Amino acid sequence: MEVENKQVILKGYIDRAPLESDMELKLGNKIKLKVSKGSSSILVKNLYLSCDPYMRARMRDFHGSYIPPFVPGKPIEGFGVSKVIDSDDPDFEPGDIVSGLTGWEEYSLIEDTKKLRKIQHDDIPLSYHIGLLGMPGFTAYAGFYEVCAPKEGDRVFVSAASGAVGQIVGQLAKLYDCYVVGSAGTQEKVDLLKTKLGFDDAFNYKEEQDLDSTLKRYFPEGIDIYFENVGGPMLDAVLLNMRTHGRIAVCGMVSQHSYHDKDGIHNLFALIRNRIRMQGFLQSDYLHLFPEFVEKVGDYYKQGKIVYVEDMNEGLESAPAALAGLFTGKNVGKQVVCVSRD
């Protein structure tokens, strides 16, 4: 039995932030809802798809990165939560919910099932498994505990603070008795940080004339930990405000993601003056901590100690706009696309 399988494809490689028009909804593709015997594959129905900034790097014709580029004309690939429809892998059976890499399409045939994670149904929303309890959450977890090496009372600054990663970093830092300030790009996000997400303070960087002065206002004694999500002028201003032996976890650099930064960073001399450690990291280097992360953060959520803000777009056809919106700051919270609720 074949069914139609709508897909979202990348039209061609780009070397800038993606626009909605760089992707296309492709109709007419058919798929059999059965896997071949002996293939060890599974066939899934995609429920929720994740839009993440790193995906921009896969839209570029560059093969030297830690992850290969997308294939133009083929569905975009990303993290998702999916339901198993048919399985030739003894570890999965129809009805199972899995999280892992899948395609931007209604149904996907997944050949490499090793990295899929089976999700237990409980009181955690399924879509959180690509956010709070997925790659973004784990990025926040590994970045904060392992890279930032926090101490109680540390003064923590988070940029892109209401985003998929930043909102968790801030909440973990609060739970660690740190003082936490976040920056975001709209008043709505700033309000969210100060109320729902429990940051000590927050500001709209777009309304600040001089980020150096702004940071001196929020951190008169300087910053111990900067969770770096944006790069560019914000990083430069932070460098001037780091305390001695401060740590910068370099995670996103959305503003210059995997690209040559035209303006450049000018204040690295501060690394010496204040003996700052600046460390790039990828969550994939810390996967041995994933089980403890799921348990700890899952418990925080169930105990009401942590919340998660999602921006949910409805329907696969909304995916191109959702992904493009990440780079203009359109999303409020973690950007998810709901393909189907079951």
**Chain contacts with its own copies (rule: CB under 8 A):** 65-66, 231, 235, 245, 250-253, 256-282, 285
Residue number with CB closer to its own copies (8 or 148)? 148
CA-based torsion, 153, 307, 219, 329: positive or negative? positive
Residue number with CB closer to its own copies (62 or 176)? 62
Are the C-beta atoms of residues 202 and 194 closer than 8 Å to each other? yes
Are the C-beta atoms of residues 101 and 77 closer than 8 Å to each other? yes
CB of 244 to its own copies, least distance (A): 8
Are the C-beta atoms of residues 232 and 255 closer than 8 Å to each other? yes
CB of 234 to its own copies, least distance (A): 13
Residue number with CB closer to its own copies (190 or 253)? 253
Tokens, residue 136: 């973004």
CB of 242 to its own copies, least distance (A): 10
Tokens, residue 100: 């892992």
Residue number with CB closer to its own copies (21 or 213)? 213
Tokens, residue 186: 């709209």
Residue number with CB closer to its own copies (216 or 305)? 216
Q: Give the Cα separation of 234 and 289 in Å (integer).
A: 30
Tell me if residue 243 falls in helix, strand or coil: strand
CB of 32 to its own copies, least distance (A): 38
Kindly compute the dihedral angle of the four CA atoms of residues 223, 228, 232, 237, in this order, to the nearest 10 degrees. Answer: 0
CB of 40 to its own copies, least distance (A): 30
Give phi and psi for 108, each to the nearest 5.
-135, 140
CB of 66 to its own copies, least distance (A): 6
Q: Are strands 179-184 and 334-338 parallel, antiparallel or unpaired?
A: unpaired
Residue number with CB closer to its own copies (16 or 245)? 245
Q: Residue holding tokens 């899929």?
A: 116
Residue number with CB closer to its own copies (9 or 140)? 140
CA-based torsion, 184, 333, 71, 113: positive or negative? positive
CB of 195 to its own copies, least distance (A): 31
